[in-house]
Amino acid sequence: MLKKLPEYEKQLADIDAKLSLPETMQDMTIFKTLNQERSHLAPIVDEMHTMQSLISQIAEAEQLLHEESDAEMLEMTREELSGLKVALAESQKKTKMLLIPPDPMEGKDIIMEIRAGTGGDEAALFAADLFRMYSHYADEKGWKMEIISSHETGIGGFKELVIGVSGKDVFGSLRWESGTHRVQRVPETESGGRIHTSAVTVAVLPEAEETDIEIRSEDLKTDVMRSSGPGGQSVNTTDSAVRLTHLPTGLVVICQDEKSQIKNKAKALRVLRSRLFDMEEEKKNRERSEARKSQVGTGDRSGRIRTYNFPQNRFTDHRINLTLYKLELIMGGQLEEVIDAMKVAAGELAIQEA
């Protein structure tokens, strides 16, 4: 790894030189790009300097072992050498992690889509439970959540829920939530006490900006209609609901939560843009690697990723064989342990590929 240190030092010096130019300060796009490159490269150079120093200290200690005859000094040197080797191994591991190229999506906000799958009313109720779980976690992280679109059931569940989540490291933390979440419990609607299995699908899309994806007006069909669903004074009284159809792909987005047709259309465009952007990214990923080895699990959103077993208080993530008997805490929003485990697993796979 250290063979590349001079190259990285030169790259870092070049970036610093460019950042000091007046013309760079005047172009915020270039300035931002250079700062992102620097934030990735500088820790690598620093850690490689640490490795270099440790290797030098190890060589000196080993040389001393050959030259020293005093028993007490030899014992101290052996202890020091042992500690230096442990520190070197840790530094090498840290450097490997730092060398993993940053995900270009890492800093993006997200659109999260939660949909009830098999299980009828019970699946809709669990969709609401997952929404509360993510809401609690977002509160802990200081993120902002907003409901973009929702389709409620009459008993407090959701057939579909589309949410915008913004804040620091949102996509980097929640990207692993995409997939099928299976729940095993006695439903509130079940009087016989039997355990039912239901499923909810979650999709996490990096929120696309207008510069990320272009939607041409001629490719868009807009329909307006009256809102439908339980409650609300504006329901069935005004044509405020908006349905957008992207003609080239057939993607359809409906938003009706706002009383304003303009606001509903703006929200629908956000969702449509993010879905189109996600389709483009998925296509690029397939072209880069058919097996998509760098992703934990298969990446197939129809695949089962989690099981929530309420009678046993058991949470299982099938992609990394993680089982925790603290389901109640997890449903209360304590997701940090799960998300950290996913990040570590993804990092280890990336190192294997590097």
Task: Convert the pLDDT of each residue in 277-323 to its tens digit.
Answer: 888 877 766 655 544 444 444 334 457 899 999 999 999 999 999 99
Q: Is the pLDDT of residue 349 over 80?
A: no
**pLDDT for residue 154:** 81
**pLDDT for residue 297:** 45
**pLDDT for residue 230:** 53
**pLDDT for residue 286:** 67
In CATH, the number for domain 219-286 is 3.30.160.20
110-212+301-353 and 219-286 have identical folds = no
Out of 69-78, 120-129, 187-196, the most confident range is 120-129
**pLDDT for residue 291:** 40
Q: Is the pLDDT of residue 51 over 70?
A: yes
Q: pLDDT per residue over 54-65, tens digit each?
A: 999 999 999 988
**pLDDT for residue 340:** 86
Q: What is the percent of the chain with per-residue pLDDT over 70, rounded to a whole number?
A: 88
CA 291 to chain centre: 20
**pLDDT for residue 21:** 93
Domain ranges of the chain: 2-99, 110-212+301-353, 219-286
Q: How confident is the model at residue 192 (pLDDT cuts 50, 70, 90)?
A: low
**pLDDT for residue 231:** 47
**What is the arithmetic mean of pLDDT over 96-101?**
74
In CATH, the number for domain 110-212+301-353 is 3.30.70.1660
Out of 4-13, 188-197, 227-236, the most confident range is 4-13
Q: What's the predicted TM-score (pTM) here?
A: 0.69
**What is the arithmetic mean of pLDDT over 192-199?**
86
Q: pLDDT per residue over 230-274, tens digit each?
A: 544 444 456 788 999 999 999 999 888 888 888 889 898 989 989
**pLDDT for residue 136:** 97
**What is the arithmetic mean of pLDDT over 329-335?**
96
In CATH, the number for domain 2-99 is 1.20.58
**pLDDT for residue 298:** 39
**pLDDT for residue 300:** 42
